[in-house]
Amino acid sequence: MATERSILHVDLDAFFVSCELLRRPELTGRPVVVAGGAEFHPGEPHRPGRAVVSAASYEARAFGVRSALPLSVALRQCPRLVVLPVDIAHYAALSKQVFAVFRDYTPLVEPGSLDEAYLDVTGSRLLAGDGPTIATNIQQRLSSELGLPCSVGVATCKTVAKVASDLRKPRGLVVVPPGEEAEFLAPLPLERLPGAGPKSVERLRLLGARTIGDLAGLDHKALLAALGSQGAPLQARARGHDPSPVVPPGLPRSISRERTFEVDLTSVDEAQRMVRQMAFAVAGRLRAQGLLAGTVILKIRFQDFRTLTRQTALAAPTSLDLQLSRSARELLEAVYEPGIRLLGVGAGRLQEGEEAGLFPTDESRAARLDQALDRLRSQFGAETITRGVGDLGRVSDWNRDHLRELGPQPRPER
Query: Residue-wise pLDDT tens for the chain (414 aa)?
Result: 457 899 999 999 999 999 999 999 999 999 999 997 777 777 676 777 778 899 999 999 999 999 999 999 999 999 999 999 999 889 999 999 999 999 999 999 999 999 999 999 999 999 999 999 999 999 999 999 999 999 999 999 999 999 999 999 999 999 999 999 999 999 999 999 999 999 999 999 999 999 999 999 999 899 999 899 889 999 999 999 999 999 888 777 889 999 989 889 999 999 999 999 999 999 988 988 889 999 999 999 999 999 999 999 999 999 999 999 999 999 999 999 999 999 999 999 999 876 655 445 555 555 565 566 556 555 555 444 455 544 444 444 555 555 556 665 544 333
CA atoms of 318 and 347, how far apart (whole Å)? 10
Of residues 20, 116, 181, 355, which has the active-site annotation? Answer: 116
| Residues 274 and 395 placed together within one structural domain of the fold | yes
The CA R_g of the chain, rounded to the nearest whole Å, is 24
| Residues 259 and 230 placed together within one structural domain of the fold | no
The conformation of residue 172, written as its DSSP 8-state character, comes to -
- Has residue 144 been placed in a domain? no
| Residues 258 and 396 placed together within one structural domain of the fold | yes
pLDDT at 47: 73
Provide the domain count of the chain: 3
| Residues 33 and 79 placed together within one structural domain of the fold | yes
> Is residue 116 among the annotated active site residues?
yes
Q: Which amino acid is at 34?
A: V
| Residues 291 and 382 placed together within one structural domain of the fold | yes
pLDDT at 359: 43
- Has residue 146 been placed in a domain? no
| Residues 344 and 268 placed together within one structural domain of the fold | yes
**CATH code of the domain in which 359 resides:** 3.30.1490.100
| Residues 209 and 287 placed together within one structural domain of the fold | no
Pick from 88, 114, 129: which residue ends a domain? 88
- Has residue 248 been placed in a domain? no
Domain carrying residue 296:
254-405
| Residues 215 and 290 placed together within one structural domain of the fold | no
Closest CA to 119 of 157, 147, 173, 74: 157
Q: What is the pTM of this model?
A: 0.71
Q: Are 317 and 269 contacting, i.e. CB atoms less than 8 angstroms apart?
A: no
- Has residue 139 been placed in a domain? no
Q: What is the DSSP string of 59-123?
A: HHHTTT--TTSBHHHHHHH-TT-EEE---HHHHHHHHHHHHHHHTTT-S-EEEEETTEEEEE-GG
CA atoms of 289 and 276, how far apart (whole Å)? 20
**CATH code of the domain in which 221 resides:** 1.10.150.20
Pick from 66, 88, 110: which residue ends a domain? 88
- Has residue 345 been placed in a domain? yes
| Residues 370 and 337 placed together within one structural domain of the fold | yes
Closest CA to 300 of 326, 269, 262, 274: 274
pLDDT at 379: 53
- Has residue 249 been placed in a domain? no
- Has residue 132 been placed in a domain? no
Question: Strand pairing partners for 297?
Answer: 311, 346
Pick from 31, 65, 88: which residue ends a domain? 88
| Residues 78 and 195 placed together within one structural domain of the fold | no
| Residues 276 and 392 placed together within one structural domain of the fold | yes
Q: Are 237 and 350 contacting, i.e. CB atoms less than 8 angstroms apart?
A: no
- Has residue 213 been placed in a domain? yes
| Residues 225 and 267 placed together within one structural domain of the fold | no
